[in-house]
Amino acid sequence: MLLALAGHAAAGVMTRAGIQKALPPPLTVGERDAQLPVWPIFKQDATTTVLAGYVFESIDFAPIPGFSGTPFNLLVALDPKGTFLEVRVLSHHEPVFLEGLGEGPLFRFADQYRGLSLQQNIKIGSNANRGEQSSSANVYIDGVAKATASVRILNQSLLSSALRVARARLGFAAGQDPDRVARVRQDTYSPMNWEALLKAGLVSHVRITQGMVDKAFDGSGVEQPAAGHENDTFSDVYIAWLSAPPVGRNLMSDAGWKHLLGRIDEGDHAFLVIASGPYTFVGDRFVRGAVPDRLTLKQNELPLELRDLDLDEPLALPASLRGADAKVFRVIGPAGLDPTHALDFALRVTREKGIVYPERIARSFALRYTLPAEQVTMPASDDKGWQGIWRARAWELAVLAAALAWLTVVLARPKWIVATPARLARFRTGYLVFTLVFIGWFAQGQLSIVNITAVVQAVASGRDLGFLLYDPMTVVLWAFVALTLLVWGRGTFCGWLCPFGALQELLAQAARFAGVRRIRLHRELDAKLKRVKYGVLAVIVGLAVMSPAWSDRAVEVEPFKTAITLGFVRSWPFVAWAAGWLLAGAFVYKGFCRYLCPLGAGLGLLGRVRLLRWIPRRSECGTPCQTCRHRCEYQAIRPTGTIVYEECFQCLDCVAIHDSAQRCAPLIAKERDRVIPIRPLPVAAGSRT
């Protein structure tokens, strides 16, 4: 289910008028693009109107479902260089921001993107990360505590949609994130002369002859120049990846190499282009520091900008090339140039046809360059997707996996734990503290009915379920719960792994220690109240399909978010609701879990597929023995002795009683009925009989 894919059913909602209100003067919004759901925005520059960028909605390009199953929709404005002019949240259904933290932290998080650029590697961090050098390509923005998964999905939605627009309208690479592109290795330097560089493929050479050019213009009507020999050189071009250490360090002095590295940013590339002959890439109108008009570069059919670095460092070139035109051009990192793919340079030759109003006709001559594979390293990771989140939380997942493995062993082979009441009590209390503190408050692994409604809403609207992968703790816990539902039923989660349930039980233990007497409801009233949670579940799931907005409100019946996710940092009605149920649990044992919890109801229904009746029973259980039923705090044992597994919390108390010769009535009766043979005492030596 986690890997299922479905078509997107999302679309933008903004109109031109609405966008104009969001982007006040001096910006003006043009007509929507006919091919792409973007609007150009313009600004007045003296007497001319210039393009200021593009504005779009993220949901049109990257409808990544949020934690609730519904995608964020962001209004995003990019300038021509990929800088964010505006990032605004138009809509969302994130539970933690709707009634939890409030929307203020979400809006402040989005505001941080304004002024940042796709040329930067934007990472979610904290102020502690901001000791980076000002020249670094990395920029850190503050996350939101208690909402890590939600803000990461927003970040992914923003960057994915912005890169798609940048690729299509700003000339960036084909949607490639700078972190996902291969890199030129920096550890491959070895001394090499010019001939060795040519032989190794680090320098590419193309010779264009006069005959090749004349043939290209045949049939164009262009008047050919004075005839020369077709084998004469028209242009002799060499291309080298100057920022690759084997090239740059061999062709430049140490000072020149350091100067080059100081002129380019991390992820940028520098190329040396040399041309000799009657025609070179340096035309009459070439300006230092500008983009050449005769030389172009494409990769995978995507144009990439070459810009002169205006570098005059001496180069170790052969004598035949020392008088040739030589320039160093830069391609910026965010353009997405991938060193593993071929580069298609082209030398553009232009000729004129006609005299009065001459027509310019151009032909391009391919100059392909491929960096040898041994000079390239693939990216080690992609920390912007869900894979990076899993790697970042590896140690937390390892702790959780170890705890789940230990719990599995205990539940599968409980005899050692239940051997004495004290041992079971110590183990259970210790594990509940771990569940509350580590799984709940620290790792934010509280499963919720929201997880179920999110899946229902995603399936109903035809969205994929990949959003689940952004919360690895939840995924692992749900996987474990799914397996244990098949084996033991609902009790494994509700009795051992629910942080709110653990909090209720620990407070109930404290109340009993303080002398508070518990109220045990009559079994008929208890049975009726237990049906309420199934009605609550039905209402919430129905609203998830018919009215997601009301579903977002209905799930607040769970106090999990207030007590666990937000640590009671919330408005008073929600705190009062959660505190009220915790207080009630001191008198009616785990009342919320037993009578109102919609997640418990869902697990109870799913748990009906369990494979085992794992709690041992005797023929005397229920007739006549009622010990386990009277001791069961959850009232999950019928008078007949039958276990109601849908209401069992797997506390192991009845298992401990069943195995105890001091607590199990049938075992005690058997011990009393056992005939003890009378044997004479042994006679001591020297005594009288």
Average pLDDT, the chain: 83
- Of 195, 189, 208, 227, the C-alpha closest to 278 is 208
- Of 496, 511, 502, the C-alpha closest to 592 is 502
Contacts of 139 (CB under 8 A, 6+ apart): 116, 120, 121, 122, 123, 132
Place 43 in a pLDDT band, splitting at 50, 70 and 90: confident
- Of 468, 601, 457, 467, the C-alpha closest to 542 is 457
How do residues 600-624 score in pLDDT, each as one tens digit? 999 989 888 887 788 888 888 888 8
Q: Residue 674: its pLDDT value, please?
A: 57
Q: Is 592 buried (19+), middle (13-18) or exposed (0-12) by CB count in 10 A?
A: buried
- Of 326, 348, 343, the C-alpha closest to 213 is 348
DSSP code of 509?
A: H
d(CA 654, CA 651) in angstroms, rounded, equals 8
Contact 339, 376 (CB under 8 A): yes
Looking at 257-266, 389-398, 674-683, which range is the least confident one? Answer: 674-683
Q: Residue 204: its pLDDT value, please?
A: 95
pTM of the shown model: 0.56
Q: Residue 299: its pLDDT value, please?
A: 82
How do residues 16-31 score in pLDDT, each as one tens digit? 888 888 888 888 888 8
Place 12 in a pLDDT band, splitting at 50, 70 and 90: low
How do residues 433-489 score in pLDDT, each as one tens digit? 999 999 999 988 899 998 888 888 777 766 667 677 878 899 999 999 999 998 898
Q: Residue 539: its pLDDT value, please?
A: 93
Instruction: Please give the structure tokens belonging to residue 429.
Output: 């209390």
CA–CA distance from 350 to each of 283, 325, 365 (Å)?
11, 19, 11
d(CA 143, CA 126) in angstroms, rounded, equals 7
Identify the residue whose tokens are 């970040």: 155
